[in-house]
Amino acid sequence: MSEEEVQAQGEGAESAETAEDQQQAEAPAKDQNSVKLDGLYAFKVGMSSVFDEKGASVPVTVLQYKPWVVSQLKTKDKDGYEAVQVACDPKKPARTSAAQKGHLKNTSFEHGAKFVREIRQSLPEGIVVGQKVEIDSLAKGDTVKMTAKSKGRGFSSVIKRWNFGGGRASHGGKATHRAPGSIGNCTFPGRVMKGRKMGGQFGNETTTVKNVKIVDVIPEENVVLVKGPVPGSRNSIVRLMKA
C-alpha cells in the first residue's frame, strides 16, 4: 500500500469519527431525573371522539396524567417481590402524619402525597427514588390492561343487578313485576343455598378490562387517549399496564 493510500485511509477514519462525535453531540441527552415504567396511573376526565388515519371516528376516553414520582423500590430480598412505588399530588402539612413525611422525605412530597400506588415489574436499570415517571412510558398503538373501580349504584334489585326478566306485567301479576321469585328449596335441604343471585350492593368494585388500545399520547397536554369506555366515575384513578 502506497503512502497516498495510507494517508487517504487515515483521513477517512478521522472524518468518520468526527461525524460520529457530531451526531452524539446533536442527540438529546437522556434526562437522568425521569424513568420509563411498564405502566402508568392516570385520572378519568370523560369521553370524546377522534378521527384515525382513514377518517373514521373512534370513541375515546380522555385520561389526565399528573406527575408521579418514584417513592420506593421494592426488591425480592427485602419485600419478597419486585415493584416500583410511585406517589402523586402533594398533601397539606396539617393532613400528613409523621410516618408519611418520613416515608417520602427523599421525594418532592415532603408533606406526604394523596396517592401512593405500586407498579409490579422488574426494576429498570439506574432507577432511584425521586425520579419522575415519564408519560412516554406508554406510546400510541400500545395494548394495555386497564384497572379501575366501577361506579357504585347502591342497593339494587335482581333486575338491575343480575338482569332478571321480572314477573308478568299484567293478567294477575299482582306484586311480582320486579320480584326475584322463589329462592328456597323443599324440606331438604330446607335453606337458601350460598351464591344465590339476589338484590344487594351493586358496583363499587375493582374492574379490569384487557386488550385496550392506546389511541394517542399527548405529552404537551399530559393526556392519554384510550379506545372505548373506562370503568369508574369522573376523576377516578385508572391503572394502565402494558399487556
What domains does the chain contain, in order, with CATH numbers?
34-138+216-230 (3.30.160.810)
Q: Is the pLDDT of residue 6 over 70?
A: no
Q: How confident is the model at residue 3 (pLDDT cuts 50, 70, 90)?
A: low
Q: Which residue has the cell 313485576?
A: 177
CA 34 to chain centre: 18
State mean pLDDT over 39-66: 95
Q: Is the pLDDT of residue 142 over 70?
A: yes
Distances (CA, A) of 104 to 27, 47, 80, 98, 184: 34, 34, 21, 10, 55
pLDDT tens track for 64-84: 999 999 999 999 999 999 999
Sign of the CA dihedral 163, 165, 167, 170? positive
Q: Is the pLDDT of residue 105 over 70?
A: yes
- Start-to-end CA span in the chain (Å): 58
* pTM summary value: 0.79
State mean pLDDT over 203-210: 96
Instruction: Give the per-residue pLDDT at 15.
Output: 54
Instruction: Give the per-residue pLDDT at 11.
Output: 55
Instruction: Answer yes or no: are the C-beta atoms of 69 and 109 closer than 8 Å.
Output: yes
Instruction: Give the per-residue pLDDT at 25.
Output: 47
pLDDT tens track for 223-242: 999 999 999 999 999 999 99
Sign of the CA dihedral 206, 207, 210, 216? negative
Instruction: Answer yes or no: are the C-beta atoms of 231 and 207 closer than 8 Å.
Output: yes
